[in-house]
Structure 1
Amino acid sequence: MLTHRHEPPLDPKVLEEAAEWLMRLSESELSDTERAEWECWKVSSPERDRAWNRAQLLQSKLGGLPATLAMSTLDRPSHPDRRRALGKLALLLAAVPTGWGTWKLAQQQQWSADYRTAVGESRELSLADGSRITLNTDSAIDVLFDTRQRLVRLREGEILVQTAPDTAALARPFRVDTGQGRMQALGTQFIVRELQARTHLAVLDGAVRVELAQSTQQAPLIVAAGQRTDFSSHDIGQLTPTDRNASAWTQGMLVVDKMRLADFVSELARYRRGFLRCDPAIAGLRISGAFPVSDTQRTLNMLVQTYPILVSGHLSGYWVTLSPA
């Protein structure tokens, strides 16, 4: 069984080469000359051999390329759509064996949801009862109002919730569900984000009652305004003060104060397509300031102008690395 858990990351140029060969093989039969060139490429270096092993594993998972990456009609190598498709394919190769399953699941969750946003997009909704929901980048929710409750199901991503008093006679509770538990609003404005099998909750106004999905021993927790916590389906983390800039994303900004560059890059990556990587040599560099998430390239330019950072791009901008200047 192939595994990449302990292997160093592959050179993006090699991944792009593997993506190109995989796409060419999926489009048509290679000539004898092309096939000989391909065979020579595969064995020319250990990195290329690793990259092609990933390509084979990805192909076995997919049973062929997904339709969105099958670019057989774009026979010009410089065609921008083909370049974008190669970038996406190279990113999948970088993430094998988990990348395809994660990408496919995210697509299914996004496109079957009642409301969704694309990467880099935000959206504000007004619900039937007057409550408002703001979806952050790459987020998806379902909304179910019935005679018993007002329910929002967060499938993926992050939302800001501002509840309104129920106009129905029964005064139905307003609840937000994630895979880890249920939050009931108590006259509230709050932020919910699902990340790495944990739900992150920050209460801006009022209070929120948290009930875990699978714990029968953990009593429900009331989180008051100015507090935040995170929880899994079995345990609730400590209460800490809410970051005063927690809702800055609703204004299109990422506001940080002495944040590690590695953590900053992880946050910024949510707002752009592709792969954004931080060299471990500068991972601990502390970043402060207000940065626009609607223009991530401008944010990267701001970092270069302010800090000893060099930004280099590959795969038509799909793969970007921050390294020491």
Structure 2
Amino acid sequence: MRSLRREPPLNPDVLEEAAEWLMRLSDNGLSDNERAEWERWKVSSPERDRAWSRAQLLQSKLGGLPSSLAMSALDRPSNPERRAALGKLALLLAVIPAGWGSWKLVESGRWSSDYRTAVGQRRELTLADGSRITLNTDTAMDVLFDGQQRLIHLREGEILVQTAPDTASVPRPFLVITRQGRMQALGTRFTVRELGPRTQLAVLEGAVKVELAENRQTEPLIVNAGQRTDFSSQTFGALTAAGRYVGAWAQGMLMADKMRLADFVAELARYRRGFVRCDPAIADLRVSGAFPISDTQRTLNMLVQTYPVLATGHLNGYWVTLSPA
């Protein structure tokens, strides 16, 4: 079987065509002429052949078209709900094989975490001890308070923590754990983000003690206010300055100070369903300013109005490409 991950990205228009055919076939309503048209479409170009291979893989993984999309296939082509469903299906085809599992999770609604935010959502919590936590976009965490500890398990995403003094008769440590290690708050305010195989920590007030998950021989690292670091389960990264804009997302802002456009786009994409791509020709363009993360379309409009950038949308806005103006 050929590796889909190593192939170049498919044209979003072709993905939308494949999604359209998949939805139409799920209705079993093709006439003989339409079926012949579909057969001609599949072999008309290598890209369309690749796109249809992904459609077949999606069907085999899910055991058929997801129910919400199958119902949309019955609607008229101009129906807004059907168009939105078509865009979601095209996105799944873009990320197959990894993306199908995420769709199954969304479809079933089975979330095992105590607290979770969707893409683009933020949530503020006050815990039983008075500590406050803000969850950033696409974040999941568990909370366990008992007689020995106050524990936050960050499964994925990013949080801003403001600890409160423990009122228990025997004060309990406030801990945040990720797959990479354990962080103990020392009367503090800090952010934690799990990013792939590493955890990023930035301390705004107080200090945080960090222990690695799989290397207990290394001495714990104390990260003080104004510092940041990242770490894997085995090693610590360097201590650096936290920067002025750490935690700005909690106020709904993406702050940029001469940030590379490619890096800016990667951050913005966290808050937007779909894909945002940056043409390599403008990847090094420097961007500065305050941009709202609760309205990513407005942010894209601000970029176009301020910088020599053109934003082109596909798949009903689910796929956006930034290119030179």
Which TM class, normalised by the smaller chain length? over 0.9
Deviation for aligned residue 1:102: 4.8
Q: Retained in 2: the 8 A contact 1:19–1:90?
A: yes
CA distance in 2 between counterparts of 1:62 and 1:235 reads 39
Moved more, 208-217 or 235-244: 208-217
Moved more, 7-16 or 216-225: 216-225
What amino acid maps onto 2:120 in structure 1? G
RMSD over equivalenced CA pairs, Å: 1.7
Moved more, 9-18 or 75-84: 75-84
Instruction: Output one character per residue of 1:27-85: Cα deviation in whole Å (capped at 9) or x when no partner.
Output: 22532222111100001111111111111122222221223433256421111111111
Matches for 1:173-322 after TM superposition, within 5 Å = 173-322=173-322
CA distance in 2 between counterparts of 1:258 and 1:105 reads 38
Matches for 1:1-325 after TM superposition, within 5 Å = 1-72=1-72, 74-104=74-104, 111-325=111-325
**SS of residue in 2 equivalent to 1:157:** strand
What amino acid maps onto 1:255 in structure 2? M
Q: Retained in 1: the 8 A contact 2:72–2:82?
A: no
Instruction: Output one character per residue of 1:189-213: Cα deviation in whole Å (capped at 9) or x when no partner.
Output: 0000111121110010111111111
**SS of residue in 2 equivalent to 1:312:** strand
What amino acid maps onto 1:138 in structure 2? D
CA distance in 2 between counterparts of 1:87 and 1:116 reads 24
What amino acid maps onto 1:46 in structure 2? P
What amino acid maps onto 1:7 in structure 2? E
Length-normalised TM-score, structure 1: 0.95
Deviation for aligned residue 1:108: 8.2
Length-normalised TM-score, structure 2: 0.95
CA separation of 1:102/1:221 partners in 2, compared to 1, >3 Å: closer, same or farther? Answer: farther
CA distance in 1 between counterparts of 2:286 and 2:107 reads 34
CA distance in 1 between counterparts of 2:60 and 2:208 reads 46
Q: Which runs of no fewer than 5 residues in structure 2 stay unpaired? A: none
Task: Give the % identical residues.
Answer: 76
Deviation for aligned residue 1:216: 3.0
**SS of residue in 2 equivalent to 1:121:** coil
What amino acid maps onto 2:197 in structure 1? A
Instruction: Output one character per residue of 1:226-253: Cα deviation in whole Å (capped at 9) or x when no partner.
Output: 1111111121111111021011111110
Q: Retained in 2: the 8 A contact 1:110–1:116?
A: no
What amino acid maps onto 2:302 in structure 1? M
Instruction: Output one character per residue of 1:85-129: Cα deviation in whole Å (capped at 9) or x when no partner.
Output: 111111111111222235556888982221121211111111110
**SS of residue in 1 equivalent to 2:143:** strand
Moved more, 233-242 or 65-74: 65-74
CA separation of 1:288/1:107 partners in 2, compared to 1, >3 Å: closer, same or farther? Answer: farther
Q: Retained in 2: the 8 A contact 1:182–1:211?
A: yes
Q: Retained in 2: the 8 A contact 1:187–1:207?
A: yes
What amino acid maps onto 1:298 in structure 2? R
CA distance in 1 between counterparts of 2:308 and 2:110 reads 38
Q: How many residue pairs are counted as aligned between the two chains? A: 325
Instruction: Output one character per residue of 1:120-143: Cα deviation in whole Å (capped at 9) or x when no partner.
Output: 111111111010000111111111
CA separation of 1:117/1:83 partners in 2, compared to 1, >3 Å: closer, same or farther? Answer: same
Moved more, 58-67 or 309-318: 58-67
CA distance in 2 between counterparts of 1:67 and 1:209 reads 47
